[in-house]
Amino acid sequence: MPFKPIPTAIAVAITLIIWFVIPVPAGVEPNAWHLLALFVGTIAAIIGKALPIGAISIIAITLVALTGVTADSPKEAMKDALSSFSSPLIWLIAIAVIISRGLVKTGLGARIAYNILAIFGKKTLGIGYSLAFAELLIAPITPSNTARGGAIIHPIMRSIAESFDSKPEDGTENKMGKYLAQVNYQSNPITSAMFITATAPNPLIVKLVGEVTGSQIQLSWTTWALAMFLPGLACILLMPLVIYLIQKPKITQTPDVKAFTNAKLAELGAVSRDEKIMLLVFGGMLLLWANVPAMIFGDAFRFDATAVAFLGLSAIILTGVLTWDDIIKEKSAWDTLVWFGVLIMMATYLNKLGLIGWFSGNIEGMINGMGVSWVVGVAILTAIYLYAHYFFASTTAHITAMFAAFYTVGIALGAPPMLYALILAASSSLMMSLTHYATGTAPVVFNSNYVSLGEWWKVGFIMSIVNLAVWIGVGLIWWKVLGFY
């Protein structure tokens, strides 16, 4: 069958129960409630993996258009269902995913990682830091965190472990591989939180923050990167050491790593023309995203982030680094364009139809009834939001379902809007640390069998506490210096 019967039946049942069985609450428009039914059913189908997420999204577009939950006119309903595909944020991520293919195709991503390894890799702990910093270096240009952690860093991590005879099939994963696999994965949530373009759902957060605040807060690429860099760097510096203390590898000294990296770099050969072009494009995009030309020459040289992504893609097409065949074969980019657009559309209309406001008001009333300060209230909200990810296999689904409502409540409780936007935005990536299904990178690393399920969840829970505490602790000081609250 083209779909999984049980998850499909559950998703359909949930949709029908909300639509037909549960009475529309007072203060909620019927169309808003019916859109909620479609939305929750879509999220349930995504979580249960009833179909590929892109296929689920096509069905969601169809249902929104045919049921007319956003407009009475069939033509307007269809227009609403497709409305988000004009969003520059969606295209920013899709184009950046395509560009990141160049890191893999040219070998530049692997070359960067091996060169960093040569610097820090004299001890196993140093190799851990090498993997973390390699991931950090390529994070701004790889919005597919799965491609970054799973397709670029993970094969390098396995090569290193196997070169020291640390293989799960031989029962020698404790030598080194277990530790490196944990660092490989736990780097992913941290780097994902540091840049808008480091994971696909981040632009959704930007959009939701703007909608909730009536466009009073617009998180630009530069603002996000500046705000998140210092807390993220603190977490990156601490994470390999924390995991080292929890799961200390048997091999702690790696004097042969220089020979290993030299051999790998020799396999890659001299830096190719295409690698040089990718490096130039990569650096140029970062400068433009960070508004460096505007800082030097004035606002006339300020460019839209999505336009910069298109410029970068045009450059690597014109130079032949990527061909059109490469681009159309980048299925993850086109898949992201479809499902990301649909979830943004549904979230937008849930807000426009007033359901987010109604839901937020109820949560606000509940927390106000507890008689706690906004600080305690926000702490409760953040903890619930982050640890609810045990029930999600998709960060996008989680963010779409919960971010706007929780952010609205936090602001209503008295939290400074910019401060809480940054806390909740960081939490939206840090929650990936928890489980072996938390994001696409997780099953890639977990399925290499270096880490048992129990060890994965144990380290994930510990790192969730460490990361959140460090991020907020450093962030509160850093964001105050920046004047964000």
Q: What pLDDT does residue 183 have?
A: 96
Tokens of 457: 């969840």
What is the domain count for the chain? 2
| CB-based contact 174:132 (threshold 8 Å) | no
Tokens of 220: 């630009």
The answer on 154 and 211 residing in a single domain is: yes
CA distance 45 to 39: 10
pLDDT less than 70: residues of the chain? none
In a domain, 416, yes or no: no
Q: What pLDDT does residue 255 have?
A: 78
| CB-based contact 388:402 (threshold 8 Å) | yes
Last residue of a domain, one of 352, 384, 417: 352
In a domain, 72, yes or no: yes
Q: What is the DSSP string of 108-166?
A: HHHHHHHHHHHHHTTBHHHHHHHHHHHHHHHGGG---HHIIIIIIIHHHHHHHHHHTT-
In a domain, 442, yes or no: no
The answer on 279 and 213 residing in a single domain is: yes
Burial class (CB in 10 A: 0-12, 13-18, 19+), 157: buried
| CB-based contact 33:16 (threshold 8 Å) | no
Q: What pLDDT does residue 287 have?
A: 84
The answer on 240 and 216 residing in a single domain is: yes
Range of the domain at 17: 1-81+343-352
CA distance 327 to 143: 16
Q: What pLDDT does residue 200 have?
A: 84
Angle in degrees, CA 146, 150, 154, rounded to 5? 155
In a domain, 158, yes or no: yes
Last residue of a domain, one of 273, 296, 328: 328
Q: What pLDDT does residue 421 have?
A: 96
The answer on 41 and 105 residing in a single domain is: no
Q: Which amino acid is at 350?
A: L
pLDDT tens-place string over residues 195-235: 998 998 898 899 999 999 988 998 999 999 999 999 999 99
The answer on 174 and 133 residing in a single domain is: yes
- Residue reference for tokens 């950090």: 136
CA distance 386 to 77: 34
Q: What pLDDT does residue 366 have?
A: 85
Tokens of 282: 């990569």
In a domain, 132, yes or no: yes
Task: Tell me phi and psi for residue 297, to 5 degrees.
Answer: -110, -5
In a domain, 335, yes or no: no
Helix (H, G, I), strand (E, B) or coil at 373: coil
Among 54, 51, 52, which residue's Cα sits nearest to residue 12? 51
The answer on 142 and 7 residing in a single domain is: no
The answer on 99 and 69 residing in a single domain is: no
In a domain, 68, yes or no: yes
Among 252, 273, 272, 314, which residue's Cα sits nearest to residue 98? 314
The answer on 236 and 136 residing in a single domain is: yes
Last residue of a domain, one of 317, 352, 387: 352
CA distance 450 to 444: 11
Q: What pLDDT does residue 156 have?
A: 82
The answer on 277 and 177 residing in a single domain is: yes
Buried b / exposed e over 233-270, threshold 16 CB at 10 Å, is ebbbeebbebbbeebebebeebeebeebbeebbeeeee
Q: What is each CA distance from 24 to 12, 20, 65, 67, 140, in whole angstroms? A: 18, 9, 21, 17, 44
Check residue 18 and report its DSSP letter: I
The answer on 304 and 217 residing in a single domain is: yes
CA distance 63 to 390: 29
